[in-house]
A = this chain, B = another copy of it.
Amino acid sequence: MGALTPPVVILARPQLGENIGAAARAMKNCGLTDLRLVDPRDGWPNLAALPMAAAGKDIIESAKVYKTLGDALHDVTFLVATSARPRDMAKPVSDPRSVAPLLVGHHEQFTDSGRYAGLLFGAERSGLDNDELALADIIVQADLNPEATSLNLAQAVFLMAWEWRVAALHHIAAAKPAETVSSKTMSPKMPTDSEIIPATGSARDFFFTRLEKILDERHFFGSPEMAPVVKRNLRTYFTRGTPTEQELNTLHGILTLFEQGKGLG
């Protein structure tokens, strides 16, 4: 992730160790590292966390526990709180995609001085209470299906971590010379594996011509009027797949078999 320090993740009053573990895995997937637990219901360490953490084992092992949210925020200077329910609070409300560049921007400015952005998540059932929300700079609500706005804890963590990651990668790419950016934003793209060599236009034409000759000899095209149309359609289809050299070789092998079949007659 280059020089960009990820936001810290703060779980307020988390309940199940499994959920804490799954949250750590989601953090690890997206390159976040700093997990803080405020007053976890079942104490800490929690044996149920590790199996769910998968590659995020190190995040569980280095997680810090705090008695109060205030303590957990000792070095957090920009706090984003997630909430499924709208509150009557005089606070800015944003969505995950819009807030991600703000997290990146904060780090650009402040991380060197030991000030971090933080993502705050509430307890599984109840979410964040009003006192916790009051500490946040921004409240984030994802525009989810109105029939099912409640994410499980690990999904909520993953959603914010993913949005941060994409914004951070974009930020890093944008800071590089234009040349290197373009290949990243270009998509969909073919694999760049050097063994995959696209066939030349000549090689394609040679294949088409051979295919058409074989089909002509077997009266495949029906009427003379239809022949050019069907040939063009075949060329269009076979070209659209952008055949590689190896693929054309395989197709030629099939044509040879085809010709031999006739030879038997």
The chain A residues found within 8 Å of chain B, CB to CB, are 1, 22, 25-26, 28-31, 54-56, 86, 88-95, 97-99, 102, 138, 142-145, 147-152, 154-155, 158-159, 162, 165-166, 169, 187-191, 193, 195-196, 215, 218, 220, 230, 233-234, 237-244, 246-247, 250-251, 253-254, 257-258, 261-262, 264-265
Contact assessment for B148 and A90 in the assembled complex, using a CB-CB cutoff below 8 Å:
no
Q: Looking at A155, A159, A250, which has the most chain B CB atoms within 10 Å of its CB?
A: A155
Q: How far is the CB of A198 from chain B (nearest CB, A)?
A: 9
Tell me the minimal C-beta distance from A157 to chain B in angstroms. Answer: 10
B233 touching A144 by the CB < 8 A rule? Answer: no
> Is the Cβ of A89 less than 8 Å from the Cβ of B55?
no
- Contact A147 B234, CB 8 Å, known A138-B188, A159-B162: no
Min distance, Cβ A9 to any Cβ of chain B, angstroms:
14
- Residue ID in chain B nearest A154 by CB atoms: B155
Instruction: Say yes or no: B191 contacts A90, CB within 8 Å.
Output: yes
Q: How many copies does the complex hold?
A: 2
Cβ distance A185 to chain B, nearest Cβ, rounded Å: 8
Name 8 extra pairs, CB < 8 A, besides A90-B244, A258-B258, A258-B261: A25-B152, A28-B148, A55-B150, A89-B191, A94-B187, A238-B241, A264-B264, A265-B265
B22 in contact with A152 (CB, 8 Å)? yes
The verdict on A220 contacting B90 (CB below 8 Å), with A188-B98, A240-B241, A247-B233 known, is: no
Which chain B positions have C-beta within 8 A of A162?
Answer: 142, 159, 162
Provide the bound-state CA to CA distance between A258 and B187, in Å.
36
Q: List 13 A-B contacts (CB under 8 A).
A: A30-B145, A90-B190, A90-B196, A91-B190, A155-B158, A159-B162, A215-B254, A234-B247, A237-B243, A237-B244, A258-B258, A258-B261, A261-B264
User: Chain B: which residue is nearest A59 at the CB level?
Assistant: B148
